[in-house]
């Protein structure tokens, strides 16, 4: 284990202050043994890495929640869940067995839409709300990416459908960027960016495909967000993204 474990934006805690507690089944909970524990308000259940112990896994919806916490500078604890062997304690709070889950005011919330909206309401500063008329920008990219990734027929136009969506988003950024809401990052970016990250890795690995250089505004958008501190802290390992999409590719 490394010398420190990051629990929130800008906070790095020495491992000497951490202790590990095992629950029933899998999952490990990192907690502080000093008064700093009282400052950690929010608990988040996240997918565990399938390639490296005690690391965050490859769920883009979980990363959306973590990005929101990071951008709002909210301290949090992560509880890693092995989704291939879901422990009893997890199924008790998540009967559907899905992540992310976030505990807010003693209540477990599911679904990244619900969680991020609740965080915005309770912690409005800094504001991340995207104006309604911009909130759906780029929303079709993820589904067209998945269709192309799963496709085994080069003539089925799934690649062209993805390119249309990416080109449309590139044109939007050209006129309205650098982010979806202009000069400031917002909730729509935090939702879309993890999906673009998965798209880049999965299509690069399974299709030897990348975003065309001609889509310069999109490429700059991805480069800017992927290098942002909050994103670097919460991104999945490339190996986990590749492993996570393998069942869809092979089906």
Q: Which residues of 101-139 are buried (b: 16+ CB within 10 A; e: fewer)?
A: bbbbeeeebbebeebbeebbeebeeeebebeeebbebbe
Q: Which of 7, 46, 59, 199 is catalytic?
A: 59
d(CA 237, CA 240): 5
Residue 156 vs residues 139, 182, 199: alpha-carbon distances, Å: 21, 35, 19
> ω into residue 100 within 30 of 0, thus cis?
yes
45 counts as catalytic: no
d(CA 116, CA 128): 9
Tell me the CA end-to-end span of the chain in Å, nearest whole number.
Answer: 35
Pairing state between β 101-104 and 42-47:
antiparallel
DSSP for residue 36:
G
Name 182's bridge partners: 179
Residue 216 vs residues 98, 140, 186: alpha-carbon distances, Å: 36, 19, 21
d(CA 69, CA 158): 34
DSSP for residue 116:
H
Judge whether 83 and 21 are in contact, CB under 8 Å.
no
Catalytic annotation, residues: 59
């Amino acid at each position: 284990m490394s010398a420190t474990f990051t629990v929130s934006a800008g906070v790095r805690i020495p491992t000497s202050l951490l202790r590990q507690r095992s629950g029933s089944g899998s999952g490990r909970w990192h907690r502080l043994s000093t008064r700093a524990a009282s400052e950690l308000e929010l608990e988040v259940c996240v997918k565990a890495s399938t390639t490296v112990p005690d690391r965050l896994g490859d769920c883009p919806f979980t990363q959306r929640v973590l990005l929101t916490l990071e951008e709002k500078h909210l301290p949090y604890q992560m509880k890693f869940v092995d989704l291939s062997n879901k422990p009893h304690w997890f199924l008790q709070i998540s009967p559907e067995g899905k992540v992310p889950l976030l505990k807010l005011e003693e209540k477990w919330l599911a679904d990244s839409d619900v969680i991020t909206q609740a965080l915005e309401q309770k912690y409005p500063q800094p504001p991340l709300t995207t104006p309604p008329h911009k909130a759906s920008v780029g929303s079709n990219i993820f589904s067209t990416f998945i269709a192309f990734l799963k496709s085994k027929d080069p003539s089925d136009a799934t690649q062209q459908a993805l390119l249309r969506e990416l080109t449309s988003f590139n044109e939007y950024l050209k006129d309205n960027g650098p982010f979806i809401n202009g000069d400031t990052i917002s909730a729509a970016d935090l939702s879309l960016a993890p999906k673009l990250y998965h798209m880049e890795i999965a299509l690069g690995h399974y299709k030897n495909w990348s975003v065309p250089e001609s889509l310069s505004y999109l490429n700059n958008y991805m480069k800017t967000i992927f290098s942002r501190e909050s994103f670097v802290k919460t991104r999945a390992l490339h190996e986990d993204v590749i492993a996570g999409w393998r069942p869809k590719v092979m089906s």
